[in-house]
Structures are given as C-alpha cells and as structure tokens.
C-alpha cells in the first residue's frame, strides 16, 4: 500500500486584522506559500497532481475555488487540479487528510494541501447570503454562538476567569519566547508587500501581564472569555507537501513525518467546540495508542477553555501542550490554521528529538479534526 509522508510545511506570518497583510488578496497570500513550498523542496510544480485547500468563508474574493486561482495567479501549471474545502477551523488539517488519503489510495504520488483566510478583507459569515436570512444552523439545530460555547465549556470543567487568563498569558509568553529563540524560523516564509516592506513575523504578539488580562471586559455580558483569551482575527496562508514515500526518496526528498491516524468527527452541539477530546480519542483508538504514547500536543486555541478542557479530560501535562504558544498569541486565519499546527509540531518534535505528536482543532458546526503525527 502506498505510504503518504509529509515532506515540508510552510506558512506566512499571521497578520492582525487591518494589519500589514490586509492589503493582499487571498490568492496572493496562498499562491505565495504554494510557490515558496515548491522552491524550498525543489519539487517541480508539474509533478503535483492535485492541490486541496481549506477556506472557511468562500465568498467575494475567496469564492469560486480560491485554491485553483491562487495556483494560477502564481503562474503554476494549469494541468494541476485544485479543490477548495470547508471544514471550518479544521479545513487546512482536513486538506492534509484528504491529500494523504488520495496518495494512500494510489490516485497519485505528489499532492499539496494548503489553506488561506484573508479575514480583514472577507470577514467571517460573509458567505451567508442575503442579509436578514437565517443562519444555516438555525434551520434544523440550535447551536450556541462560539463565545457562549467557550464559556459553557469553561463552566463544564470548573474553569474560572483566572484559569483562562493564566492560559492566555502563557500563550503570549510562550509564543514570544519561541520567536525570540528562532523556533518559528523554519515554518514562516516572509511576505513582500507592494510598497517594498517585508512581513516576516506574526503581528498578534502582545506585551501583557496577568493584571492587564484581568482588567479586560468579557466578550459577552457575564461571560468569562476576553480578547486576551480568544483567538485573533488574522490574515494568512499555509501549505504542506505530501508525497508517497518511495516517490519522495526517488525525488531526493527527506520524509519528515507521517500521519498514523486521522479523523474528522462530530462534536456535542451544546458545547460546539469541545470536539478535540472526542477526535483525539478516536485517532488514539484507531492507532492502538494512549495519551502516554504522545510526546507533544497542539490543540488550537480558539478560546482558552478548549485546550484547557482537552488537557483536563485527557490528563495532559501543560508542558507538553502548545509549547510554543498558539492562536491566542499568533492569530487564527481560520482556513489555514491546521497546517500551521502541523508545521509547528513537526519542527518541535525534530528539535526535541521526540517522535509522536497530536494535532487537534475544534471547528464550527460542532466538529473537530485530529491526527497522530509520527516523526520519521
């Protein structure tokens, strides 16, 4: 059976809302990382049979298969097929899953997964259509708003405001330490701007303190989460090259990791964002593994309660969870984040000379993605 392996993964720096990347169209962001990934690996673009990309808000500038138009805008071969998917915040991770599955099924040997969200230009929910029409989830199910769901999770796990603030501060501190130590240098590729400037660092990092976070107002009246304990609205793109292992070696490429197990699961609608717990249990069961077999965890910081809930239920040591910070500090361009987490965990496993990682992401619509990643 063909074995898909991850050869490399890259991302743009994540720009804050209205920041340095907000002047760039989504096809520029995505086409840029697609090109840089090919340049860095030395793979001929013509060898890529298919590109599958994640994008959550497929409206306006991000509509009409943005993955395909990013590829063409970058001047890459017209023969390569492209698909854009929406698995909400798990979109880029699910794109990796789908490319890997195609390779495992023998459909092709070389594929690219990617993801993009230009949230400054195409705000979330822009794809709902006519103003005043009901949101899709109101047609058949009663899902809470994300802020409400995050607070429900906190209440469910006995997490107070101080617990959430502590996690938010830790995310900022860890992300800044990682940047200062050069731990994001490999995954981040600089983005040139039309005015000659170059963006080479995430814009979401903040200088803050426990006292400052404690002084922030909750996002919702009577709630627990604040801007300091929620993911940031951001602009950015990611890409990963997935190749059949024998073919990778023939091309002179070094396989870096493989997916041991992968899943997209439905979560509890009442809690909406608590799905990483279930998704991770599913991939562990499929792999015949336990939490004790995992060296590192990357659980997306949509809100502080999500990784905290995950850690509490699965008994995960905080020193193994989001060790370089997360979306609270770095940003969360929703369609791209899954590959950012993948790039981070592969780099960190290599840096620590460890072997097994888990990437898990909560997603809108009460779903979640998860994968067990094994360093090669």
Q: What are phi and psi of 228, to 5 degrees?
A: -85, -10
Partners of 372 in the β-ladder:
261, 358
Residues of the chain falling short of pLDDT 70: 129-140
Instruction: Output the pLDDT for position 132.
Output: 53
- pTM of structure: 0.96
d(CA 359, CA 368): 11
Tell me the domains of the chain and their CATH numbers: 259-375 (3.40.47.10)
Instruction: Output the pLDDT for position 128.
Output: 77
Instruction: Output the pLDDT for position 127.
Output: 85
d(CA 359, CA 324): 14
Q: Which tokens in the block code for residue 168?
A: 């938010």
Strand 198-199 with 50-54, pairing: unpaired
Instruction: Output the pLDDT for position 140.
Output: 60
Instruction: Output the pLDDT for position 131.
Output: 52
Q: Which tokens in the block code for residue 9?
A: 């993964």
Partners of 50 in the β-ladder:
81, 111
Distances (CA, A) of 147 to 221, 229, 336: 10, 11, 21
Length in residues, the chain: 376
d(CA 127, CA 59): 5
d(CA 224, CA 34): 39
204-209 own/partner pairs: CB under 8 Å, 24+ apart: 204/14, 204/16, 204/232, 204/234, 204/329, 204/330, 204/331, 205/172, 205/175, 205/176, 205/179, 205/329, 205/330, 206/172, 206/329, 208/168, 208/169, 208/172, 209/169
Closest listed residue to residue 85, CA positions, set 344, 303, 336:
336
Instruction: Output the pLDDT for position 322.
Output: 98
* H or E stretch at 172: helix 161-180
Instruction: Output the pLDDT for position 125.
Output: 86
3-state secondary structure 54-111: ECCCCCHHHCCCHHHHHHHHCCCCCCCEEEEECECECHHHHHHHHHHHHHHCCCCCEE
d(CA 338, CA 359): 8
Instruction: Output the pLDDT for position 196.
Output: 94
Residues labelled as active-site residues: 89, 332, 362
d(CA 242, CA 109): 8
d(CA 322, CA 335): 19
């Amino acid at each position: 059976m063909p074995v898909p392996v991850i050869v490399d993964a890259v991302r743009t720096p994540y720009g804050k809302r209205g920041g340095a990347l907000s002047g760039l169209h989504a096809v520029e962001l995505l086409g840029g990382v697609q090109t840089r990934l090919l340049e860095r690996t030395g793979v001929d673009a013509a060898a890529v049979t298919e590109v599958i990309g994640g994008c959550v808000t497929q409206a306006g500038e991000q509509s009409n298969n943005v993955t395909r138009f990013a590829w063409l805008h970058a001047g890459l071969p017209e023969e390569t097929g492209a698909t854009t998917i929406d698995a909400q915040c798990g979109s880029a991770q699910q794109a990796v899953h789908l490319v890997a599955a195609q390779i495992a099924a023998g459909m092709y040997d070389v594929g690219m997964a990617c993801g993009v969200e230009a949230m400054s230009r195409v705000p979330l929910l822009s794809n709902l259509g006519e103003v005043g029409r009901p949101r899709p989830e109101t047609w058949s199910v009663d899902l809470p708003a994300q802020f409400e769901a995050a607070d429900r999770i906190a209440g469910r796990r006995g997490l107070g405001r101080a617990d959430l603030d502590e996690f938010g501060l830790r995310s900022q501190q860890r992300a800044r330490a990682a940047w200062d130590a050069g731990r994001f240098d490999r995954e981040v590729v600089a983005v040139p701007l039309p005015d000659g400037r170059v963006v080479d660092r995430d814009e979401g990092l903040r200088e803050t303190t426990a006292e400052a976070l404690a002084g922030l107002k909750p996002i919702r009246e009577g709630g627990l989460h604040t801007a300091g304990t929620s993911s940031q609205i951001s602009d950015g793109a990611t890409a990963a090259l997935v190749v059949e292992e024998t073919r990778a070696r023939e091309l002179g490429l070094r396989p870096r990791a493989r997916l041991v197990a992968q899943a997209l699961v439905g979560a509890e609608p009442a809690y909406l964002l608590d799905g990483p717990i279930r998704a991770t249990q599913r991939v562990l069961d499929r792999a015949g593994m336990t939490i004790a077999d995992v060296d590192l965890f990357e659980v997306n910081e949509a809100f502080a309660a999500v990784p905290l809930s995950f850690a509490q239920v699965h008994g995960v040591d905080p020193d193994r969870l989001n060790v370089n910070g997360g979306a609270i500090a770095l940003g969360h361009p929703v369609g791209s984040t899954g590959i950012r987490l993948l790039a981070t965990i592969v780099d960190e496993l290599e840096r620590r000379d460890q072997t097994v990682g888990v990437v898990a992401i909560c997603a809108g619509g009460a779903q979640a993605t998860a994968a067990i990643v094994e360093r090669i």
